[in-house]
Amino acid sequence: MSVKFYGRVVRIGGIATAISNQIKLINFKGVKRVNVKFDPFDEKADIARNYLFYISSPKINETNPNCVIKTDVICNRERPTISFQLIPQVQEAAKIKTVKIELENLSMLELLTATNQHISALAPKETVSSSLKTKSEKKRASGGRRK
């Protein structure tokens, strides 16, 4: 005879959950161009390819549809790098033109965290300037009733 289990079975978030949470936070509003450069025969090429897969998703593309994602596949034993070219407004505010991340000793989670800390933090804040008006307020603003 066995004892029945009472309670909820909760799956503890692991590395996959942490990666998906970091992907949801990525914001490319302050980026003009992303350049991913890797050698396919390098040990860390899989991280660059997976990162490229994650940032190519439609949800991340919606944050800045004008952002160009470029891939450079090279065969000269260089370490994989990712460079972000910033938009002019962010360049003036941060006083930097590009942000370069080298993937030599980074895991996927560390790379996504670095992207959120250094790139998503530079995204310009949205200002809500439109105020909601009712029909009666719109009529009063236009001059009242018209006949």
The answer as to whether 46 is a domain residue is yes
The answer as to whether 2 is a domain residue is no
User: Per residue in 25-63, is it b (16+ CB within 10 Å) or e — as a string?
Assistant: ebbbbbbbbbbbbbbeebebbebbbebbebbeeeebeee
Lookup: tokens for 17: 């959950």
The answer as to whether 51 is a domain residue is yes
Model confidence over 123-147: pLDDT tens digits?
887 776 667 778 888 788 877 665 5
Q: How far apart are the first and last CA of the chain?
A: 86
3-state helix, strand, coil in the chain (%, to 5): 40, 15, 45
AA letter at 17? T
pLDDT score of 83: 96
The domain in which residue 81 lies consists of 15-122
The answer as to whether 37 is a domain residue is yes
AA letter at 85? Q
The answer as to whether 142 is a domain residue is no
Model confidence over 56-99: pLDDT tens digits?
999 999 999 999 999 999 999 899 999 999 999 988 988 999 99
pLDDT score of 4: 75
The answer as to whether 5 is a domain residue is no
The answer as to whether 132 is a domain residue is no
**Residue 118 maps to which CATH number?**
3.40.30.10
Model confidence over 97-125: pLDDT tens digits?
999 999 989 999 999 999 999 998 888 87
Q: How many domains does the chain have?
A: 1
The answer as to whether 144 is a domain residue is no
Does residue 29 have a pLDDT over 70? Answer: yes
